[in-house]
Structure 1
Amino acid sequence: MDLEKFQKESQSEFPSNTKLKAKLRKVKPKELDQRFSEQHEKAFEEIDCLDCANCCKTTSPIFIQTDIDRLAKVFRMKSSNFIEEYLHRDEEGDFVLNSSPCPFLNKDNKCLVYDERPKACREYPHTNRKNMHGILNLSLRNTLVCPAVFKIFSEIGKEYRK
């Protein structure tokens, strides 16, 4: 995966994707969910997260308390010690990682805590779920992080940019 090329392309298409997002707001919710789900499946037939891991390299998931408790157990730590070592609260008050890349990302792009990873990591990039209307802003931001989301927007855009 050429992340440098992806970054340039996703940045240059961001204004166009922002306009697309406005058009997508007018699409019926069930239809929008269907389009995203279809394109999600197609994108992940071609894209392997292990070739990329850009999400793990550049952003932090939100850690909810059950994630913190589960991961603290993995490392045989108290939850408070896990927070102290790995997390801080962001502007919205959510727990996020202290640094990027993720400290649990191995050199081969595999996750050290994959089976116990946070809920936000399990669900990322959130493009195959219900109520896509509710997360269009997040999905637009993710076009700058995830090549699959960028591809999904590009494909959906072929239909709705007309």
Structure 2
Amino acid sequence: MNLEQFKLLSKNKEKENLKFLAALKKKDSRKVDDEFHTLHHEVFEEIDCLTCANCCKTTSPIFYQNDIERVAKALRMKPGDFIEKYLRIDEDRDYVLKSSPCPFLDGDNYCSVYESRPKACREYPHTDRKKMVQITDLTFKNTQVCPAVLEMVERLKKIF
């Protein structure tokens, strides 16, 4: 699926997915986690992030202080210079990238700071966490960014 098809499909499924994910909150948390984790592994066997990188092209991770220090070190910069060059403070008072796509994404969808990337990037799309029922709002947002998350939610609908 190309990104244009994905965007159209995720938009068309928006209301249905909101309703489904809200209903998941009432399910057995362990069963939801088990199914999500199984699907996470299955779907990422089928979908290669390097063919997409929509997350890196359209959204920014939150940068915590230790992320800033780690990435700045990898770039041989002082943390303050890194902040000044790449980051801004958003409406939630978090450090995020000033621009998208991510300045560390190259033309082949590889990350130039991959080994030092922020925690939020390491954990994205958060579909292998415990207590998935607590982050259904985030999961919904990610159905609009990540084709793999949309696919997991579609498969979950068949299970639940």
CA deviation map 1:10-45 (0-9, x unaligned): 110011000101210111111111111011111101
| Residue in 1 that maps onto 2:63 | 63
1:114 aligns with 2:130: no
1:13 aligns with 2:13: yes
Unaligned runs of 5+ in 2: none
Unaligned runs of 5+ in 1: none
| Residue in 1 that maps onto 2:40 | 40
Q: 1:97: how far off? A: 0.2
Q: Helix, strand or coil for the counterpart of 1:103?
A: coil
User: What's the TM-score, normalizing by structure 2?
Assistant: 0.98
Q: Which runs of 4+ in 1 moved over 4 A?
A: none
| Residue in 1 that maps onto 2:93 | 93
Q: 1:158: how far off? A: 1.4
Structure 2: which amino acid aligns with 1:118?
A: P
Instruction: Quote the sequence identity (%).
Output: 54
Structure 1: which amino acid aligns with 2:17?
A: N
CA deviation map 1:24-68 (0-9, x unaligned): 011111111111101111110110000000000000001010010
Q: Pairwise CA RMSD of aligned residues?
A: 0.8
Task: Kindly tell me the number of residue pairs found equivalent between the two proteins.
Answer: 160
Equivalent-residue separation in structure 1 for 2:152 and 2:7 (angstroms): 15
User: What's the TM-score, normalizing by structure 1?
Assistant: 0.97
Q: 1:159: how far off? A: 2.2
Equivalent-residue separation in structure 1 for 2:22 and 2:102 (angstroms): 32
Q: Helix, strand or coil for the counterpart of 1:88?
A: strand
Q: For 1:72-151, list aligned pairs within 5 A.
A: 72-151=72-151
